[in-house]
Amino acid sequence: MTSPSTPSPTHRLVWNSDALQCDHGDPTIAAENAVVRATFAYATTVHLALDERTFEKNHPAGLDAFRRLSPVADDERLFRHDGERRVRLPEHADELATILDFAGAGSDGDVWAARLFGLDEFAVLDGERWRYHSIPHETWCRELYCDDESTPSRYLADVKRALDEFPGVAVFPTDEPLCSWRAAGIGYELTPEVLRLTTEASTSAFRLRSLNYVCAEPTRLELASQWRRSNSSSLPRRLVRRLVSRFTADPPTRLRFETRAELDAAVDALHTVREKLDYAFRVE
């Protein structure tokens, strides 16, 4: 269930878990909480839904804070979860800070479990206009809304500034991919997280965190690429990797292009995501 005034998200948070880190607590929680705090300056209310049993077991202080909030009437609910409640800002900012674990940022393992798996969904609004939406256990859903005239242009800048202390996380527009092209019957799409290849028979996706390097060869209209494989030595992981590899394509070692402009656009996009998400791959 969503509000009829809900627009489509314009931006989202993207993580590179190999690089994301912070001085204390869980970095994904700390980074998202930094974004939520930046959003407060442009918001009046927050809607939340959570699993009370998970919070009672792992974060009782958060459950107590949640129960002090006002229940949302059925005709005003934003989510499909029972027991949705509303935070009014700034009156109930302390309760919200406790629920979202602003102080610990997941430093306690039990609280981290409640924050990530017990908090079903929350949205930050300015009146009826959505500003931020998160489903914590779904990593794809960290969404920002920045396209209407009521949103000051400095909001997105404030969010990006709040993330400066967190390497490996950045804000990207939702209109993926960053670039796309076709060559030799294969469609290519480069997003902040994956390189996707599509043929008439199948689609394969390869995570950029596994990319080792790419080397542009303009005269051949190609990008040579090398990908890292898991170095796990445990038997179960080796068996799983061997089984999965039977049903998945190998990463491409040559990316082909029809024009120099498409090649240059792909190289620029790789430079951008490497810089913003602190990927370890090289671009030559």
For the stretch 260-274, pLDDT in tens is: 999 999 999 999 999
What pLDDT does residue 113 have?
A: 86
Three-state SS sequence of the chain: CCCCCCCCCCEEEEECCCCCCCCCCCHHHHHHHHHHHHHHHHCCEEEEEECHHHHHHHCHHHHHHHHCCEECCHHHCCCCCCCCEEEECCCCHHHHHHHHCCCCCCCCHHHHHHHHHHEEEEEEEECCEEEEEECCCCCCCEEECCCCCCCCCHHHHHHHHHCCCCCCEEEEECCCCCEEEEECCEEEEECCCEEEEECCCCEEEEEHHHEEEEEEEHHHCEEEEEECCCCCCCHHHHHHHHHHHCCCCCCCCEEECCCHHHHHHHHHHHHHHHHHHCCCCEEC
For the stretch 25-41, pLDDT in tens is: 678 888 999 999 999 99
For the stretch 71-113, pLDDT in tens is: 999 899 999 888 899 999 999 999 999 999 887 755 566 888 8
For the stretch 144-184, pLDDT in tens is: 998 666 566 789 999 999 999 899 999 999 987 899 999 99
State percent of the chain over pLDDT 70: 86
What pLDDT does residue 28 have?
A: 86
Confidence of residue 21 (pLDDT cuts 50, 70, 90): confident
For the stretch 185-207, pLDDT in tens is: 999 999 999 999 999 989 999 99
For the stretch 219-230, pLDDT in tens is: 999 999 999 875
Out of 2-6, 170-174, 232-236, least confident range: 232-236
pLDDT exceeds cutoff 90 at 135: yes
The model's pTM:
0.85
What pLDDT does residue 25 have?
A: 66
